[in-house]
Amino acid sequence: MNGVIPLHKEIGLTSSDCVYKLRKILHTKKVGHTGTLDPLVDGVLPICVGQSTKLVNRLTGSPKEYEGEITLGMSTTTEDREGDVVEEVKLNQPFEIPKLEETFKSMIGDLTQIPPMYSAVKVNGKKLYEYARAGLKVERPERKIHLYDFYLMGDPVFDSTSGKQTVRFHVRCSKGTYVRTLAVEFGSILGVPSYMSKLTRTQSAGFDLKDTFTLSDIESMIESNEYGFFKSIDDVLVDLPVHELTDEEWEINVQHGGFLEFSQYDTNKNLRVTKNNITKAIYKYDPKDSMWKPETMLLNNE
């Protein structure tokens, strides 16, 4: 059983919960997710099964897209709606759309983030949320991220009674981005407290929200002996250039992790090598030796 499941993770579940449940549903232990989603976040969570677990790092490293909501006028300990209120300010009037759009645009590009205390980033072997729950403060490591796109969706909503303004957004960002922290930084630029009040991941590892299946979908399909929720390794790697191996290349080189020599392929890209049109390995060009060397072996992919 090899392939990737474009799972629609539902609110209330951790990414690890999804892996645990799928191991039971699929009756296999070799299952891994491709990037943590907080319990309060729903959306696309690609799950690797069997041989495709070797692709977890590759898929985790791809850019991701989200749609969400920022609430202006209040901040929380967790930077989302789960936390306790830290600061609250009643807005006398809403921010106008041009000002909001200008703020979104100003954040596109390279940014430096400090992960929130309520996160799974490890410092000295302990997760930050463990320090936070114990009431301890610790220096948090900075991380470099990149926003490819960040923009306003629809019209903002202002509640004159509470003095809060909610703003919907779309963001395409690099691996390791904390969208919760983006929401806080957005408010900081405007000079008001803020937090992320909603978030859905809409794209990850080439899968869109419309491509996904819930856990209950998968259970029902298996009961009907349907496995259309599986995407093959070949489907996942379809963007890579491909070389169909000769019998000699397969038997003498690739099966034994050997090098390959080609001149017709772009050396700046990885190369997918196949046998009978089934991916068996991913090769990477080594300019030092002018040879293609195995990066990921998928010999048991069927």
What gap in Å lies between CA 87 and CA 188, rounded to an integer?
A: 12
Main-chain phi, psi angles of 57, to 5 degrees = -65, -40
Contact assessment for residue 108 and residue 191, using Cβ atoms and an 8 Å cutoff: no
What gap in Å lies between CA 258 and CA 281, rounded to an integer?
A: 11
Catalytic residue among 17, 38, 234, 239: 38
Instruction: Clarify whether 38 is annotated catalytic.
Output: yes
274, two tokens: 């196949």
What gap in Å lies between CA 188 and CA 98, rounded to an integer?
A: 17
47, two tokens: 């799950």
Burial class (CB in 10 A: 0-12, 13-18, 19+), 164: buried
Contact assessment for residue 17 and residue 37, using Cβ atoms and an 8 Å cutoff: no
Q: Closest Cα partner for 254 from 281, 279, 272, 218? A: 281
What gap in Å lies between CA 158 and CA 302, rounded to an integer?
A: 55
What gap in Å lies between CA 55 and CA 34, rounded to an integer?
A: 9
What gap in Å lies between CA 71 and CA 73, rounded to an integer?
A: 7
What gap in Å lies between CA 100 and CA 153, rounded to an integer?
A: 11
Residue with tokens 């001149």, as numbered in its chain: 263
Strands 42-49 vs 194-204: parallel, antiparallel or unpaired = parallel
Q: Looking at the annotation, which residues are catalytic?
A: 38
